[in-house]
Amino acid sequence: ASVALLAACSSKSPKEASKSSGAKETINFATVGTTAPFSYEENGELTGYDVEVAKAVFKDSDKYEVKFQKTEWSSVFTGLDAAKYQMAGNNISYSEERAQKYLFSYPIATTPA
């Protein structure tokens, strides 16, 4: 199976989220944080390939800021479905069923499964 970052669509548009205040829209990124090298804690901070890629993507954005939220694996997809999270990364395997519901990045690795 291929492994990738994924994103879900929120029902709130960026214009609605930021209004005219000039504030950045927050992108909540869900991860379990225990799957090195993809996401894990080091010195109390989340890091790993998935986390660092998301940081780099949003680094110079004047519209969005990313916030990482450590959660249980069972809550990742539920949180995406409820728009609690807009992105997730944690060695997430691609499947046809998931691809019908979520947007995946280009695969970054493969697993024997």
Task: Give the mean pLDDT of 73-77.
Answer: 94
DSSP states of 48-101 as a string? Answer: SHHHHHHHHHHTT-SSEEEEEEE--HHHHHHHHHTTS-SEEEEEEEP-HHHHTT
pLDDT at 48: 95
> Is 0.85 topped by the overall pTM?
no
Tell me the mean pLDDT in the region 8-16: 47
Residues 16-29 as b/e (b if ≥16 CB within 10 A, e otherwise) read eebeeeeebbebbb
Question: Could you tell me which CATH number the domain at 2-11+25-110 has?
Answer: 3.40.190.10
With pLDDT > 90 as the criterion, what percentage of the chain qualifies? 63
Domain residue extents for the chain: 2-11+25-110
Token code pair at residue 99: 């691809």
The predicted structure's pLDDT at residue 107: 81
